[in-house]
Amino acid sequence: MILTRKFGTHEGCDVIETTLCSDTAEVAILNYGCVVRDWRVRTKTGVIPVVLGFDDFDYYPDHSPSFGIIAGRVANRTAKGKFHLNGVDFQLPINNGENHLHGGPIGLGRRMWEMETDDTTNSIHLRYHSKNGEEGYPAAVDFTVTFQLQGNRLTCEMTGIPDAPTPINLAQHSYYNLNGYGNTRDHLVQIAAQNYTPVDDAQIPTGEILPVKNTRFDFTSATSFGQNDPDNLGVDHNLVLDTERNTKDPAAIVYSPSSNLELQLWSDEPGLQLFNAPAMNLPVPGLHGENYGPFAGLCLEAQHFPDSLNHPEWPSIICTPKAPYSQKLVVEIAPR
């Protein structure tokens, strides 16, 4: 079942919320930024909201730290917003210290998308045409995002078809909290990643790929943030997913002992940015009046590596009309 309602207005356009429903879950998605605004899972003891968001649309443009968006054209950071392609130097807008983040100050996550529903498959299709030069990027790109809910499993398929060579690296950017409230420091996290890309003080990769062993980024076995990071330093790092892993198995598993909910994530991307929001302190209420403070949610951003444009030795994010962009992400949240 699919429900639709007007959720607000943005720049003279109606913000529409479409909710995919199953017997065990509901996922509400906006045509603003493809935002996953709310995701509720039914359990024996009641309904648990498992992502961070807002009940009031007006909070999104001013206060959202990328809650639930599709980040791009290039997710994550690009050093000083600079890259070189086919003999041309490009300068992207700077919106994160000295660097470019998540496609720029507007990116794809603050655009109005065309939306249509498909009751037969319980899906939502979103489309956006990004013009040549938008946010400093070369080429025009036709983007599509499809969300499908089947039981407790949400599939997100992203494509980008450019008319000329251009970088594309999208990421679905939900903040998860399997307790439905409070913080995520008790969540047990397991990720199929024996290596990570260390960063400098500006969160730009140094170019190294190092083992996670004996670091706070070691989630090769189920470990809580409280165990791995007793000093509350937080995590905002790209984990290099094991290339030899069985892709039929989840790349990441998160479990909350408090709610007994388990998240499983499957991805075809080479990296997973793990972020647990150590400095979050929003001045406005979140869903159901929640106060979102430090560690209120965790992100599992499946993507290519940050600053890939300046590291040609890493998997390329350059897409062409003959080799367009695609990503398939599957997330299932259910009682264990």
SS3 139: coil
Strand partners, 124: 117, 147
What are the CB-based long-range contacts (under 8 Å, 24+) for 125-133?
126/29, 126/31, 126/34, 130/73, 132/163, 132/164
Contact 124, 115 (CB under 8 A): yes
Residue 217 in tokens: 């980024």
Check if 173 is active-site.
yes
Q: How far is CA 82 from CA 101, 107, 155, 311, 328, in A?
A: 12, 16, 33, 12, 28
Contact 261, 292 (CB under 8 A): no
Contact 73, 161 (CB under 8 A): no
Strand partners, 84: 89
Selected catalytic residue, list 173, 187, 237, 304: 173
SS3 147: strand
Contact 94, 80 (CB under 8 A): yes
Cα 322 to Cα 333: distance, rounded to the nearest angstrom: 36
Q: How far is CA 156 from CA 8, 73, 89, 159, 303, in A?
A: 24, 16, 33, 10, 13
Selected catalytic residue, list 17, 26, 269, 301: 301
228 phi/psi in degrees, rounded to 5: -75, -25
* DSSP character at residue 106: T
Catalytic residue positions, numbered: 173, 301
